[in-house]
Structure 1
Amino acid sequence: MANYTHDLIVIGAGSGGLGAAGFGGALGLNVALIDKTVHDYGGECLNYGCVPSKALLHVAQQFAGARQATRFGLEISGKADMKAVQRYIRERQDIIREHESPDYLRKTYGLDCFIGEAMLTGKKEVTVNGRKLTAPRIVLATGSRPRHLKVKGVEHVKQYDNERVFAELEELPDRLLIVGGGPNSCELAQAFRRLGSEVILLSRSDRLLKHDPAPAAKLLEAKLRAEGVDVRLNTEIRAFPDAHTASLVDDGEPVGSVSFTHLIVAIGRSVRTRGLGLELAGVHTKGDRILTDDYYRTSNPAILTVGDAYGREMFSHGAEKHNTDVWTNLLSPIDKKHKLNHFSWVTFTDPEIATFGLTPEQLDRQGTKYETVEQSFDHDDRAVAADYSDSLLILYLSKPTYGSSKVLGGCMAAPAAGEMIQELHLLQQLGLDYSKLTNKIYAYPVGSRINQKPARDRDQNRLLSPLTKRVLRAAYRLQNR
């Protein structure tokens, strides 16, 4: 290690940092992993993001299922006990936390885990608890923080973000106002409505989920409205006259006010840049971003960013993708550039909205010719039997070459869509023909049979052209005289 104390230093023990440090430790490198507290190990995903939100959605689904069963004679009443819900969430977190704790990481990967505030104090130097650590490479996996509203009167209002919801909320809101139209907002709106809260959801956009196809977003919007969520599009908060009232505007014009008992704000996230000593290490920033190139390098090439600190796709599996690229670059003379040709994301509402591969915007920018195929679930037997026939599959397929097309991307809006798109995503990632699904035999009536239907329809349309039918009739009669 020359004169370095470590082979690699990783600041931040969330999804990005655990992946970066864990792989280095598995290789036998001497890796230092630093985070502020023992509780911070596991990061946003474990403590305030993916894990608690999905546990919350699981509980809410139990309530929804019970209510749906009233049509068959079940009698229910009451609302959720929020303290009991939070206990369940923390129990689930504790199970996962056992494998993301400093002790576990030391024993399993041989990591040198530090608890304390880390600060960059040189080009290749980090100081923690008064101790100077050095390494030829430093990875910043310092995450992001929720953005908050900045309007008149907001200082009188308690703004819950995803962190405060899971750390502090011990009572079920009577009347919950949620600001934002993205995945986090939609998940929380549906969850709290199902648990028994009145919910108003405000989006300043003209639709929800602006990064997903509009037809899929419309299906989710309709489901939220049907469950009693008051969805208001093109609407923003102008001011808070008091701690429980918000004045609203639509396209700048006043549209009255709304009362609430609790406020959740989910309007995006900002990369953490303060208090890290970035300027001491020659790491440049712009606004709330760490300037990083397509190879994850900051203005100091010895310092890399992954996860939310990279400032692009802020998902736990985004951090996984970043680490795959970064470790390829650290171990190979050929650098791997950041690309999102094979990425996916899921909003875990009911229905789930699962998007994968290239979007129409990306395809248009690339000049790629494609066709869009939309497949409803109206006549899918499993969807009819299980009452989700108002679902939708959208595929972007390459223009046929000699009768074959490749899957370029797509989206599904359906229960368990995140699971059902996986074979389509694999076809896209491997560059295989969509027609590969044509002759696959699915166990009847699994939900993923819907993936095959457009492929079979396309092949059948080609197979049953007037000319082909004449040829096949002649072949049959010749073979069966």
Structure 2
Amino acid sequence: MSTVALSQGAGSVAIDAAAVLEPDLCVIGAGSAGLSLTAAARALDLSVVLVERHRMGGDCLNTGCVPSKALIAAARHAHAIRTAAAFGVTAGAPEVDAAAVRAHVRSVIDGIAPHDSVARFERLGATVISAEARFTGPDTLVAGGRTVKAKRFVVATGSRPQLPPVPGLDQVPVLTNESVFDLDALPRRLVVIGGGPIGLELAQAFRRLGAAVTVLTRGEILSRDDREAVAVVRARLLAEGVDIVEHAVVDRVATVPDGATVTVTVGGATRQVAASHILVAAGRAPVTDGLGLEDAGVETTPKGITVTPALRTTNWRIYAIGDVAGSFQFTHWASHQAGQVLRTILTRLPQKEATGSVIWATYTDPEIAHVGLSEAEARRRHRTVRVLRAPYLENDRARTDRDTEGFVKIITGAGGRILGAELVGPGAGETASLFALALAGRLKVSHLAGMIAPYPTLAEVAKRAAVTSYADTAKHPFVRRVIRLLRATL
């Protein structure tokens, strides 16, 4: 078998399918992590082989972030029609066309797909192989009849929905995020198993589109988020008619003529919940099957591939990023890890994850977002911690929109440095970016307080919270004496 090196130029070149490919980098998985890494590597003129066995764009584009937000947007419009009377507009009850909603979701995916396509990445100069990938040794991979001997490999195969071990669940048709967006008709009675971000976002969306919805969760909903912020989301969902059953143990699932019956135990009492459809959103499992990781000397656990803080596996040539690496399961975090690994590969200096700057948002209404350290984490790590807050009720834009539920909470450390933030309210996911920037720049709360924000905007609530840092300062005896002296000179 002949050996050739990939072209380092801007365009792709014809390669004999029987040849051994020897790129600088081989990326396995064309989801958000793999695509981000491939694009960045090609921008730096590294030769790249990208292997994907299913759909380009991965879960985020095809069955995750994009279709769920498109569905949420449709549901938001239905909700706006129902609540329009508060603004002096009467529109009647909304009529939901399930086929049209599905077409809307599909059109959004189709509009973004070219950016993640094989054609685009071939134009960038990457060699894309649409096939299964399998390691045959510590430095060799085969895919689509080709052999790849790269200088470095990066596994970015993501995760898939995990079904809980509930008796009878495997005997009834169930939906996951991989199938729920293909429904031809809206569910009449939707039971959601799982109270995390995916479960709650879809529960509220389907409720607003007209379905009766029950959420069953083993613990509390949104268990990773600030409890005070979660209480605001819970109240809104209940007010909209979503039945939330927390601390519920799903005992079994049985088929009935018009759907299924879910039997649950809550506080020692048993109840049955009727369902026309069951959506399982109770966790995800890393995708490692068929990769031959054992032949490459790569260790795994049920949580994913074992990696160092620099995301290197037990094989020094191989890295893992994104969901398969067992860290935070967010698209933006996977992209962050892509940059981290690329810097490590190029500089030979291990780049560690910026776990103190992690950010996430859940797109319920109201949205809920977290940035950096929680209050509890901050108090464990820092001696001086102060919490500043402001409610959306005091934000003029929120009042004009009649959407005033929620608050912003800023966690600060010594000298007023911003350590984290918790947000719940309209546009919380957007406003959270202010705090992500503050953490990246190691800014103090005084910088945020001095920011000039356009009026009226929802982001002003962040500044209002920051301004409260001056409240105690103005009460300090020394400051008051200085103010008295200054007044005397007026």
TM-score normalised according to structure 2 size = 0.91
Q: List alignment gaps of at least 5 residues for structure 1.
A: none
SS at 1:447 equivalent: coil
Structure 1 residues 27-52: Cα deviation after superposition (integer angstroms, max 9, x where no partner): 22221111114xx1010100001111
Q: CA–CA distance in 2 between the matches of 1:247 and 1:157? A: 14
1:11 and 1:139 in contact (8 A); partners too:
yes
SS at 1:321 equivalent: helix
Structure 1 residues 388-418: Cα deviation after superposition (integer angstroms, max 9, x where no partner): 222111111114xxxx411100111011111
Q: Which residue matches 2:461?
A: 450
Q: Which residue matches 2:401?
A: 386
1:8 and 1:138 in contact (8 A); partners too:
yes
Is 1:16 equivalent to 2:27 in the alignment?
no
The 5-angstrom pairing of residues 171-320 of structure 1 reads: 171-205=185-219, 207-243=220-256, 244-251=260-267, 253-320=268-335
* Fraction of identical pairs, as percent: 33
Is 1:57 equivalent to 2:95 in the alignment?
no
Is 1:158 equivalent to 2:156 in the alignment?
no
* Between 170-179 and 124-133, the greater mean CA deviation after superposition: 124-133
Q: Which residue matches 1:28?
A: 45
1:325 and 1:338 in contact (8 A); partners too:
yes
Select the residue among 454, 476, 479 that pairs with 2:487: 476
The 5-angstrom pairing of residues 332-347 of structure 1 reads: 332-347=347-362
Is 1:355 equivalent to 2:366 in the alignment?
no
Report the CA distance between 1:143 and its aligned residue: 0.9
Report the CA distance between 1:297 and its aligned residue: 1.2
Describe the shift of the 1:444–1:130 C-alpha distance in structure 2 as closer, same or farther (beyond 3 A).
closer
Q: CA–CA distance in 2 between the matches of 1:237 and 1:89? A: 31
* Between 376-385 and 154-163, the greater mean CA deviation after superposition: 376-385
Describe the shift of the 1:471–1:361 C-alpha distance in structure 2 as closer, same or farther (beyond 3 A).
closer
Q: Which residue matches 2:15?
A: none
SS at 1:160 equivalent: coil
Select the residue among 432, 438, 441 that pairs with 2:449: 438
Report the CA distance between 1:138 and its aligned residue: 0.9
SS at 2:83 equivalent: helix
Q: Which residue matches 1:424?
A: 435
1:14 and 1:45 in contact (8 A); partners too:
yes
2:382 and 2:413 in contact (8 A); partners too:
no
Q: CA–CA distance in 1 between the matches of 2:249 and 2:384? A: 38
Describe the shift of the 1:132–1:432 C-alpha distance in structure 2 as closer, same or farther (beyond 3 A).
same
Letter in 1 for 2:36: G
Report the CA distance between 1:364 and its aligned residue: 4.2
Q: CA–CA distance in 2 between the matches of 1:366 and 1:380? A: 32
Q: CA–CA distance in 2 between the matches of 1:383 and 1:235? A: 35
SS at 2:364 equivalent: coil
Report the CA distance between 1:285 and its aligned residue: 1.5
Report the CA distance between 1:421 and its aligned residue: 2.3
Q: CA–CA distance in 2 between the matches of 1:453 and 1:100? A: 40
- Structure 1 residue ranges, 4+ long, deviating more than 3 angstroms after superposition: 1-4, 464-471
* Between 415-424 and 342-351, the greater mean CA deviation after superposition: 415-424
SS at 1:341 equivalent: helix
Q: Which residue matches 2:98?
A: 82
Report the CA distance between 1:75 and its aligned residue: 3.3
Report the CA distance between 1:360 and its aligned residue: 3.2
* Between 51-60 and 333-342, the greater mean CA deviation after superposition: 333-342
Letter in 1 for 2:23: H
What is the aligned length?
A: 469
Letter in 2 for 1:187: E
SS at 1:421 equivalent: helix
Q: CA–CA distance in 1 between the matches of 2:119 and 2:130? A: 11
Q: List alignment gaps of at least 5 residues for structure 2.
A: 7-19
Q: CA–CA distance in 2 between the matches of 1:4 and 1:197? A: 52
* Between 470-479 and 346-355, the greater mean CA deviation after superposition: 470-479
Q: CA–CA distance in 2 between the matches of 1:281 and 1:472? A: 70
Q: CA–CA distance in 2 between the matches of 1:259 and 1:270? A: 28
* Between 13-22 and 43-52, the greater mean CA deviation after superposition: 13-22
SS at 1:163 equivalent: coil
Is 1:93 equivalent to 2:106 in the alignment?
no
1:143 and 1:307 in contact (8 A); partners too:
yes
Select the residue among 403, 418, 431 that pairs with 1:407: 418
Q: Which residue matches 2:16?
A: none
Report the CA distance between 1:348 and its aligned residue: 0.8
2:193 and 2:281 in contact (8 A); partners too:
yes
* Between 311-320 and 383-392, the greater mean CA deviation after superposition: 383-392
Report the CA distance between 1:212 and its aligned residue: 0.9
Letter in 1 for 2:47: N
CA-based RMSD: 1.9
Describe the shift of the 1:94–1:471 C-alpha distance in structure 2 as closer, same or farther (beyond 3 A).
same
Select the residue among 134, 138, 147 that pairs with 1:123: 138
SS at 1:395 equivalent: strand
Q: CA–CA distance in 1 between the matches of 2:47 and 2:436? A: 36
Q: CA–CA distance in 2 between the matches of 1:151 and 1:247? A: 10
2:82 and 2:94 in contact (8 A); partners too:
no
Q: CA–CA distance in 2 between the matches of 1:79 and 1:23? A: 45
Report the CA distance between 1:250 and its aligned residue: 1.6
Structure 1 residues 185-239: Cα deviation after superposition (integer angstroms, max 9, x where no partner): 110011000111011111111x211111001101000000011101111112101
Letter in 2 for 1:233: E
2:408 and 2:423 in contact (8 A); partners too:
yes
Structure 1 residues 289-333: Cα deviation after superposition (integer angstroms, max 9, x where no partner): 211121111111111101111111111111111111101101113
1:208 and 1:218 in contact (8 A); partners too:
no
Describe the shift of the 1:437–1:154 C-alpha distance in structure 2 as closer, same or farther (beyond 3 A).
closer
